[in-house]
């Protein structure tokens, strides 16, 4: 076997995009993957989880259908069918792997990459032993991240699952009767929605004073109130001091950091969803010039270049937002820079969209009002509620509905959009136009296009294109568009 390659790619998530372009350009490639092919999103993240989220959404909608004059019997859950649809998506990785191994210009290694020198690596093979050393003048590290398991007394004896093991050997044969989720972020919020809708008693334990801490303060509070309305217990300000298994049940002993009161929470299973850590610790980067920060995230510049020449890092492992759409964006930047003769492109993160597929759905782009205030920005706020538009009223949402969600728009000087925050039906769709508008401002600025007196169009990144456009009526687009009319310019 020829062990010299034009490019070595570590990780088969967004790394596959680099691989495809490298092969299209006639390069000899090595691909190293320790797990299922397709990365976290395909095999243990955003795609399989949505196979569970959508049925949960339907259940929640059915529970509220009486407000529009439709009543359903209690839904029957076919867990086997739901599970089969999910596994069908995950198992696409098997087809993917088989097809990759048919390519004559690609050598696939099943195992964990370990650098032995600056441009030399070996693979700790999944079936035992090591591969011969492989060499390349170019490495792309897209090795991702994994669940961070906090230090909890006796937790290994007690037992727990993570999102990785859930979409693997620990997938339940039926929904649990009860579930404890440690952590209150996006993963926690989605799993809480899924299993509470399926009838599981869910308890969220969060060390911070609130859940989904990345969100606008009002949206955090709204989401937590709706969780409680859906019988999800939320325990903020909580420190887990011990754990124990008692028969078929698992117990966590939780201390409230405000009152010092200790309570016992018991459930069939414990899901750890308290954050992630980078997989850089498996790569033996000490044998290279690639540097990481204090938490292990690989340091990169705006061109995705690491501190070692011709070694690049993208996706979760560089610590700049852990989203597949962000990783895909970085892959496109890197493809352009590696395989094009055009001017190098830089990656920028001014308009990274977030979405949490919980119930109610949550999405945002840009900064929160608190962040705008802390940054000393001059800003104005506009809000609009679902109950204030015909589309929301048609869905049965009234001013007194507990799920009367809203959009909150934060604008700055020159009518620029600083942030858009939404909670309610289809939030992930409604936020996307603001991403386009905010990104337009960024492109204008970075290309150094100067504003001239004769220019008659509004500043790029402005909300004015929305303000000056026709809005389909009656549609949920009115929720976001009309929020601009509600901006309180007096404050």
Looking at the structure, tell me whether residues 121 and 171 fall in a common domain. Answer: no
Range of the domain at 269: 155-274
With H, G, I as helix, E, B as strand and everything else as coil, classify residue 340.
coil
- pLDDT of 128 higher than 50: yes
pLDDT mean over 415-425: 95
- Strands, E, within 41-150: which ranges? 106-117, 120-125, 134-136, 139-141, 145-147
Core vs surface per residue 350-373: b (16+ CB within 10 A) or e = ebbbbbbbbbbbbbbbbbbbeebe
Confidence of residue 451 (pLDDT cuts 50, 70, 90): very low
Query: Does residue 389 sit within a domain?
Result: yes
CA-to-CA separations, 143 to 296, 329, 352, 427, in angstroms, rounded: 12, 16, 21, 30
Q: At what angle do helices 92-100 and 79-90 cross, to 10 degrees?
A: 20
Looking at the structure, tell me whether residues 215 and 227 fall in a common domain. Answer: yes
Taking all residues of the chain, what is their mean pLDDT, rounded to a whole number?
93
**Residue 445: its pLDDT value, please?**
44
CB atoms < 10 A from the CB of 41, how many? 20
Query: Does residue 353 sit within a domain?
Result: no
Q: At what angle do helices 79-90 and 46-63 cross, to 10 degrees?
A: 150
- pLDDT of 366 higher than 50: yes
Total domain count, the chain: 3
Residue 195 parent element (H or E): helix 186-197
pLDDT mean over 258-269: 98
- pLDDT of 462 higher than 80: no
The more confident residue out of 37 and 459 is 37
The more confident residue out of 437 and 235 is 235
- pLDDT of 55 higher than 80: yes
- pLDDT of 82 higher than 60: yes
- pLDDT of 133 higher than 90: yes
**Residue 441: its pLDDT value, please?**
57
Confidence of residue 202 (pLDDT cuts 50, 70, 90): very high
Residue 240 parent element (H or E): strand 238-246
**Residue 1: its pLDDT value, please?**
65
**Residue 480: its pLDDT value, please?**
85
Query: Does residue 347 sit within a domain?
Result: no
Q: Is the peptide bond before 402 cis (omega within 30 degrees of 0)?
A: no
**Residue 460: its pLDDT value, please?**
54
Looking at the structure, tell me whether residues 382 and 452 fall in a common domain. Answer: yes
The more confident residue out of 443 and 195 is 195
Tokens 């009838």 found at: 199
What does the alpha-carbon distance between residue 36 and residue 470 come to, in Å, rounded to a whole number?
46
**CATH number where 429 lies:** 3.30.390.30
pLDDT mean over 160-186: 97
- pLDDT of 273 higher than 90: yes
Looking at the structure, tell me whether residues 19 and 96 fall in a common domain. Answer: yes
Give the chain's end-to-end CA distance (angstroms, integer): 70
pLDDT mean over 60-77: 94
**Residue 482: its pLDDT value, please?**
81
**CATH number where 8 lies:** 3.50.50.60
The answer to whether the beta carbons of residues 271 and 147 sit under 8 Å apart is no
pLDDT mean over 404-411: 97
Q: At what angle do helices 324-339 and 15-24 cross, to 10 degrees?
A: 30
Confidence of residue 398 (pLDDT cuts 50, 70, 90): very high
% of the chain exceeding 90 in pLDDT: 87
With H, G, I as helix, E, B as strand and everything else as coil, classify residue 287.
helix
Q: What angle (nearest 5°) sits at the alpha carbon of residue 349, between those of residues 368 and 288?
A: 130
């Amino acid at each position: 076997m020829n062990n010299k390659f034009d490019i070595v790619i570590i990780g088969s998530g967004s790394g596959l995009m680099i691989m495809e372009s490298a092969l299209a350009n006639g390069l000899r490639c090595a691909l190293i993957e320790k797990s299922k092919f397709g990365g976290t999103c395909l095999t243990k993240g955003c795609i399989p989880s949505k196979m569970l989220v959508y049925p949960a959404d339907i259940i929640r909608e059915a529970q509220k259908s009486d407000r529009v004059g439709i009543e359903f019997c209690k839904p029957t859950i076919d867990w086997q069918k739901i599970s089969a649809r999910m596994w069908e998506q995950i198992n696409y990785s098997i087809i993917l792997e088989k097809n990759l191994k048919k390519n004559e210009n690609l050598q696939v290694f099943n195992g964990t990459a370990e650098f032995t020198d600056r441009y030399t690596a070996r693979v700790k093979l999944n079936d035992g032993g090591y591969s011969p050393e492989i060499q390349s003048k170019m490495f792309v590290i897209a090795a991702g991240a994994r669940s961070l398991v906090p230090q909890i007394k006796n937790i290994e004896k007690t037992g727990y699952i993570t999102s990785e093991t859930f979409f693997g050997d620990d997938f339940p044969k039926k929904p649990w009767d009860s579930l404890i989720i440690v952590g209150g972020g996006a993963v926690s919020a989605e799993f809480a929605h899924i299993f509470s809708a399926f009838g599981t008693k869910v308890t969220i334990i969060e060390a911070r004073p609130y859940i989904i801490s990345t969100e606008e303060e009002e949206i955090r509070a709204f989401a937590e109130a709706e969780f409680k309305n859906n019988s999800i217990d939320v325990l903020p300000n909580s420190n887990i001091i011990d754990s124990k298994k008692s028969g078929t049940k698992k117990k966590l002993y939780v201390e409230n950091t405000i009152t010092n009161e200790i309570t016992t929470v018991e459930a069939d299973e414990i899901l750890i969803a308290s954050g992630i850590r980078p997989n850089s610790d498996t790569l033996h980067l000490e044998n290279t010039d690639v540097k990481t920060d204090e938490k292990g995230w690989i340091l990169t510049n705006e061109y995705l270049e690491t501190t070692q020449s011709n070694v690049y890092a993208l996706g979760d492992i560089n610590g700049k937002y852990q989203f597949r759409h962000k990783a895909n964006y970085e892959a496109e930047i890197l493809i352009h820079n590696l395989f094009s003769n055009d001017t190098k492109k830089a990656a920028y993160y001014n308009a990274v969209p977030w979405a949490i597929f919980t119930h109610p759905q949550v999405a945002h782009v840009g900064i929160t009002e608190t962040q705008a205030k802390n940054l000393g920005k001059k800003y104005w706020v506009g809000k609009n509620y679902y109950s204030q538009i015909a589309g929301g009223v048609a869905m049965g949402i009234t001013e007194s509905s507990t799920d009367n969600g809203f959009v909150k728009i934060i604008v700055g000087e020159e009518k620029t959009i600083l942030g858009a925050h939404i909670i309610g039906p289809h939030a992930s769709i409604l936020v996307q136009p603001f991403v386009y508008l905010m990104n337009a401002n960024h492109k204008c600025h970075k290309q150094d296009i100067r504003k001239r007196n004769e220019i008659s169009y509004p500043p790029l990144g402005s909300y004015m294109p929305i303000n000056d456009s026709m809005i389909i009526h009656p549609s949920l687009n009115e929720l976001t568009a009309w929020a601009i009319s509600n901006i309180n310019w007096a404050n």
